[in-house]
Structure 1
């Protein structure tokens, strides 16, 4: 017999998990199947790797490296594209638990590519590796066709799902001293004021714990008996009949068996690169699919605090990460971050080094000039490691982008000069390093060929087919996207839940 569910969710990361949790809370009798191409990670389902022991985290990272599963870091680094610096920062932010799309891309004239474009494959998706920063989008970063009150309510709910902690201004201790200095440098008319980075973590028994995908899913197995998370299961294509998504063809990656699951609603949350890949493989190819690809630029440098900001001079709150943020504004389309490593929630290999208590990261992120020509090209004949259409990224920079990059470097110097000095000149991270790939299944207000889905993430022209993840963001942003994509998935999931309840009510009426 063909398996039948109410909702089939492809991808187990933050967006897919938000769909599952929201629909399950609203319709506890729903049959929800979530499939994940990667393996189960030992330990608490969906837990962040930073909550694990060093040994557990290393094992989890090796499991989620897709085609590089089991490869030690030194082996994986041996194939990094020429010109990419396998520095400590690069290793920590790109390599562990991730795998490269193509570290040696063949570039056409004028292209710079995204040679560091990376993905994760395992239960929890990128939600077990992410950096926990949760700023709200500002000004033109916000989706203009979603009413302000509606988007704010969704962002409020996303903060609850992720367990986001926020700090008022003014703060205390060293964090406030750095914030005040940055505010003197960067605040001004029309600019969002300097503050503290909201972050998704909590303290348990004196130990800091990161929010992972498991934080979103919660106790869904107990409250929704019909929920199932099926790992090592690849979605080969969505089945579309007469303009309606009715299920998907799935592959058991252990046995190699291919089978179909029928569903009343299909949701694709594979990530910003693989979600359009699944749609392409399914024959769902609206004109904007995989176009308007963009990620924000990332410029960073290490520095040290001056004597005026020596940590020992301040009475510091041990539970405050103290990450200072210079938010995005239309007049300054970039976001700055200043984080003393002694306050970093990540366990970095700097403890014990001379001057470690004053080491600080100055990181700035800039919005990309969005272009239709920046895109993913899918092959009709060649396939990737998973047997899906092979991807080739076409990506270039405009004159506006070059100006943004230069301003990012200048602002990194300015932010460092206010509280200390740089150890080296700010450098632009390799394309793809941010891991935030937007626009490939972008939202739109109307179906005019420039978007893939509507404001509730339903794919244009195909009933009962929804998407999620970074790829749905239609605007140029510098802000970290996780809070936004969880908010957007929550809005979309509520629409599906409403339809499920209406269907159940209709069936009950007919039965009477």
Structure 2
């Protein structure tokens, strides 16, 4: 028998989970099926790996590496592409729990590629690995065709769903001392003021708890009897009949069996690369599909605080991250992060406490000059590990991009000079390292061929088909996109919920 549901959600990451939670809260009687190509992770469903013991975290990471499941990433460094940085930072932030799209890409002469482009497959998606930074978009990062009050309301709701903690200005202790220096260096007319990075972290009994995808889903299984999260299930294609999405063909990854599920609404939230892949495999191929691919540039370096910022000279609040934020502004299209690592909830693996207490990270992100030609291309004949159309990334730097990268390095040095000294020269991370791939299913104000979906994430020309994830963001951004992605998914999900209620 053909299975019938109200809503089929493809992908269990933050966007897909926002759709499920929003629709389930509004329509508790709805039948919602969420499918995930990767496996269940032992422990609490959707828990962030940083909340786990070291043993459990490693086990979870090994499970979510797709075709490289079980491969210890540190042992695979010899097989990574030229230009990838096999440093401690890279191992900690890029390799565990992820798998490369193509670690040895073949590039055209004028291309730089995204050699570090990576994905995760497992219940919770990237939401069980993410860094939890949740800044709001500013100025031209914001989506111009969404009314400002509506976008702000959606961002408010996203902060609630993610459990975002925000710190007011002025702060206290070392974090405030650093913020004042950065404000003196970088604030100015028309620029968004320096503050502190909002993060999806809460403190319980003196311990930091990271928001994983499970925080978004909440107790959905208990409150919505018709909700099911089905792991190790691949969406081969969306079924479209007479311009209407009516379901999908699903493959059981364990048995290889295919099954059709019929649905009143289909939502594809696979990620910025696999969402357009699913649409392509389904024959849904608007002109902009896969195009306008962009990620913000990432320039970083470590340094040390000077004597004036010796932590022993400043009171320290254990429940402040010490993460100073220099926000994006149109006159300075980049975002800076200055992070005193002594307050970092991440394990640094540094035994020398005196050294660790002076360590500071400088992370600057720059907005890409978005081009139609930057794209992920899908093969009509070749397939990937999952049997889906093989992806090839085409990606270049414009002259404007090169100027942005140079300015990022200069600002990293400027921020270091105010509070200490760099231990290394600022370097541009390999393309794809940010893991924030945008534009591939971008939203638009009109169906004019330059976008894939409308402002409520419904795919142009196909009824009842929606998308979600970082790929829907149409603007050039430096801010971490997760908060915006969740906000946009919430807006779209409220529309689906309203349509379901109209028919009940």
Question: Do the two structures share a fold, i.e. TM-score over 0.5?
Answer: yes
Query: Which SS does the other structure have where 2:79 is aligned?
Result: coil
1: distance between equivalents of 2:345 and 2:454? 37
Q: How much has 1:430 moved relative to structure 2? A: 0.1
2: distance between equivalents of 1:102 and 1:5? 35
CA RMSD of aligned residues (A): 0.7
Query: Which SS does the other structure have where 1:171 is aligned?
Result: coil
**In the TM superposition, what whole-angstrom CA distance separates every residue of 1:17-69 from its partner, at most 9, and x where no partner exists?**
00000000000000000000000000000000000000000000000000000
Checking the alignment, whether the CA contact within 8 Å between 2:325 and 2:337 is kept in structure 1 is yes
TM-score (norm: length of structure 1)? 0.98
Checking the alignment, whether the CA contact within 8 Å between 1:325 and 1:337 is kept in structure 2 is yes
2:408 aligned partner: 408
1: distance between equivalents of 2:481 and 2:450? 21
1:162 aligned partner: 162
Q: Does 1:419 align with 2:419?
A: yes
**In the TM superposition, what whole-angstrom CA distance separates every residue of 1:278-325 from its partner, at most 9, and x where no partner exists?**
000000000000000000000000000000000111111111111000
1:256 aligned partner: 256
Moved more, 354-363 or 452-461: 354-363
Query: Which SS does the other structure have where 1:308 is aligned?
Result: helix
Query: Which SS does the other structure have where 2:9 is aligned?
Result: strand
Checking the alignment, whether the CA contact within 8 Å between 1:68 and 1:76 is kept in structure 2 is no
1: distance between equivalents of 2:317 and 2:332? 31
2: distance between equivalents of 1:242 and 1:252? 27
2:147 aligned partner: 147
Checking the alignment, whether the CA contact within 8 Å between 1:65 and 1:97 is kept in structure 2 is yes
Q: Does 1:378 align with 2:378?
A: yes
Checking the alignment, whether the CA contact within 8 Å between 1:301 and 1:422 is kept in structure 2 is yes
1:37 aligned partner: 37
2: distance between equivalents of 1:354 and 1:316? 15
1:223 aligned partner: 223
**In the TM superposition, what whole-angstrom CA distance separates every residue of 1:422-457 from its partner, at most 9, and x where no partner exists?**
001100000000000000000000000000000000
1:211 aligned partner: 211
2:365 aligned partner: 365
2: distance between equivalents of 1:348 and 1:500? 48
Unaligned residue ranges in structure 2 (runs of 5+)? none
1:415-494 superposed matches below 5 A: 415-494=415-494
2: distance between equivalents of 1:349 and 1:172? 27
1:50 aligned partner: 50
1:60-459 superposed matches below 5 A: 60-352=60-352, 355-459=355-459
Q: How much has 1:185 moved relative to structure 2? A: 0.1
Q: How much has 1:353 moved relative to structure 2? A: 5.6
Checking the alignment, whether the CA contact within 8 Å between 1:295 and 1:432 is kept in structure 2 is yes
Checking the alignment, whether the CA contact within 8 Å between 2:74 and 2:91 is kept in structure 1 is no
Q: How much has 1:74 moved relative to structure 2? A: 3.0
Moved more, 309-318 or 456-465: 309-318
Checking the alignment, whether the CA contact within 8 Å between 2:286 and 2:449 is kept in structure 1 is yes
**In the TM superposition, what whole-angstrom CA distance separates every residue of 1:207-253 from its partner, at most 9, and x where no partner exists?**
11100000000000010000000000000000000000000000000
1: distance between equivalents of 2:313 and 2:74? 40
Q: How much has 1:354 moved relative to structure 2? A: 5.2
Query: Which SS does the other structure have where 2:23 is aligned?
Result: helix
Checking the alignment, whether the CA contact within 8 Å between 1:293 and 1:439 is kept in structure 2 is yes
Query: Which SS does the other structure have where 2:503 is aligned?
Result: helix
2: distance between equivalents of 1:142 and 1:374? 21
Checking the alignment, whether the CA contact within 8 Å between 1:11 and 1:125 is kept in structure 2 is yes
2: distance between equivalents of 1:214 and 1:338? 29
1: distance between equivalents of 2:130 and 2:351? 22
1: distance between equivalents of 2:249 and 2:390? 18
TM-score (norm: length of structure 2)? 0.99
1:503 aligned partner: 503
Checking the alignment, whether the CA contact within 8 Å between 2:409 and 2:427 is kept in structure 1 is yes
Checking the alignment, whether the CA contact within 8 Å between 1:304 and 1:359 is kept in structure 2 is yes
Query: Which SS does the other structure have where 1:324 is aligned?
Result: strand
Query: Which SS does the other structure have where 1:203 is aligned?
Result: strand
Q: How much has 1:206 moved relative to structure 2? A: 2.0
2: distance between equivalents of 1:171 and 1:318? 13
1: distance between equivalents of 2:351 and 2:433? 25
Checking the alignment, whether the CA contact within 8 Å between 1:62 and 1:69 is kept in structure 2 is yes
1:510 aligned partner: none
Checking the alignment, whether the CA contact within 8 Å between 1:11 and 1:34 is kept in structure 2 is yes
**In the TM superposition, what whole-angstrom CA distance separates every residue of 1:319-366 from its partner, at most 9, and x where no partner exists?**
111100000000000000000111112112124265111000001000
Q: How much has 1:83 moved relative to structure 2? A: 2.3
Checking the alignment, whether the CA contact within 8 Å between 1:187 and 1:193 is kept in structure 2 is yes
1: distance between equivalents of 2:144 and 2:361? 33
Checking the alignment, whether the CA contact within 8 Å between 2:138 and 2:328 is kept in structure 1 is yes
2: distance between equivalents of 1:354 and 1:501? 60
Number of positions where the alignment pairs a residue of Structure 1 with one of Structure 2: 504
1:509 aligned partner: none
